[in-house]
């Protein structure tokens, strides 16, 4: 069984029916894929949905609905924090802290990071496997 971790950008693409939404839907329906989210993504997604105009309760509920669809919500612990530092330190460009933590969750889990975020292009493939939507 393969494992994938959905970045916030992938969730937003799905939620808003934008480019990449079909691929996220395929992953959600594929019983052969263990899907995960970073705990950071739950927060970032809810905040972004609220910024797009949703009431806070609706934004929270949307984030929790996605969290219930995945096999695991990966917490940020010391191992993830150190991996995020390693990712940032070796990246060829700037990687915002939130993105480094999300990528680190995928790396520690051994999952492919599914995203639509150009920041991830500067992360070396040796630390995080990724699939761009």
Neighbours of 25 (CB within 10 A): 12
Q: At what angle do helices 21-29 and 8-15 cross, to 10 degrees?
A: 100
| Rounded distance between C-alpha atoms, residue 87 and residue 123, angstroms | 7
| Rounded distance between C-alpha atoms, residue 41 and residue 26, angstroms | 20
- DSSP E strands in 15-76: the ranges are 33-38, 72-74
| Rounded distance between C-alpha atoms, residue 63 and residue 59, angstroms | 6
Q: What are the tens digits of pLDDT across the range 86-122? A: 999 999 999 999 999 999 999 999 999 999 998 898 9
Q: What are the tens digits of pLDDT across the range 55-94? A: 999 999 999 999 999 999 999 999 999 999 999 999 999 9
Are 27 and 33 spatial neighbours (Cβ–Cβ below 8 Å)?
A: yes
Among candidate residues 41, 45, 37, the one with its CA nearest the CA of residue 61: 45
Q: Which residues pair with 36 in a beta bridge?
A: 5, 72
Residue 33 clears pLDDT 90, i.e. is over it: yes
Neighbours of 48 (CB within 10 A): 19
Domain ranges, ordered by start, for the chain: 2-132
| CATH code, 2-132 | 3.40.50.1010
Give me the pLDDT at residue 126, please.
84
């Amino acid at each position: 069984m393969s494992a994938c971790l959905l970045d916030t950008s992938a969730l937003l693409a799905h939620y808003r029916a934008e480019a990449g939404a079909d691929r996220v839907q395929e992953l959600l329906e594929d019983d052969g894929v263990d899907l995960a989210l970073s705990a950071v993504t739950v927060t970032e997604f809810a905040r972004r949905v609220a910024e797009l105009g949703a009431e806070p309760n609706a934004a929270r509920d949307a984030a929790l609905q996605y969290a219930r669809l995945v096999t695991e919500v990966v917490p940020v612990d010391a191992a993830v924090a150190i991996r995020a530092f390693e990712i940032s330190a070796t990246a060829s460009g700037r990687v915002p802290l939130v993105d480094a933590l999300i990528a680190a969750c995928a790396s520690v889990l051994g999952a492919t990071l599914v995203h639509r975020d150009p920041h991830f292009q500067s992360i070396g493939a040796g630390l995080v496997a990724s699939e761009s939507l």
